[in-house]
Copies of this chain bind each other. A is one copy, B any other.
Amino acid sequence: MDTETRVGLLKPVGLFRSLNGAALTALAEAAREHVVPRGEAMFQQGDEATHGYVLAWGRVRLDQVTAEGQNIVIRHLGPGDMVGMVAVFRRMPFPATPVALEDCMALGWGAGRFAELMAAYPPIAQNAIAAVGGRIEELQSRLQEVATQRVEQRIAATLLRLANQAGRKTDAGVEIPFALSRQDLAEMTATTLHTVSRTLSAWDQEGVVDSRRSSHLVIRQPHRLVEIAGHA
């Protein structure tokens, strides 16, 4: 892939907002391409954070396993999202494993090289803080959810969040454009696949969502979900 194409990929990325052409070119030239086939991990939780990435195409699920072996889904990532950058800045091992849900391509930079680039182009750091701050807010709101809301509300909130981040509008409603098993949803909402299944079944029957027909879930009545999510 040539530099120009890469610049085109980097331009709309939040992390690189308000950088001039020279900066983008420098970044593009320093980047290494990193192709990850569907189902594989970009790296493993616990690995040393030698490289940071920006996702160019595809979708990634960020998993974390607890000391006791339980799995929780931290978040989903799409094109333009940073992957592993925070760990690089902190010089700490990666705290989670990013698993490709589709064939993915990421651009990566070595830790040292990226630090140089960041020093040379200050807006990167500002953007990084803003991006990381966004994650904090999301985590805090999830913490609030798990702490104070019941399962049904959490599932609704999670579906809405996914729809916001990656939803595609169709005539039937909003479609979540990747496979999403009950197990996945359970790990996102801190519950079991059984409860998720029961809840979705009920919503299916009420016509709120369509989770049985295709492998991609469709939200048919977003306003109902909002209602459920907000109903203390």
Contacts and interface: CB of A to CB of B under 8 A. Distances in A.
A202 interface: no
B70 A148 contact: yes
Nearest to A69: B232
Interface stretch (A30-38, A127-135, A205-213): A127-135
A228 to B, nearest CB: 14
Contact of A86 (B67, B90, B133): B133
Contacts of A143: 72, 74, 139, 142-143, 146
A170 to B, nearest CB: 30
Contacts of A68: 148, 232
A61 B64 CA distance: 28
Interface in A139-162: 139-140, 142-144, 146-148
Contacts of A66: 144, 148
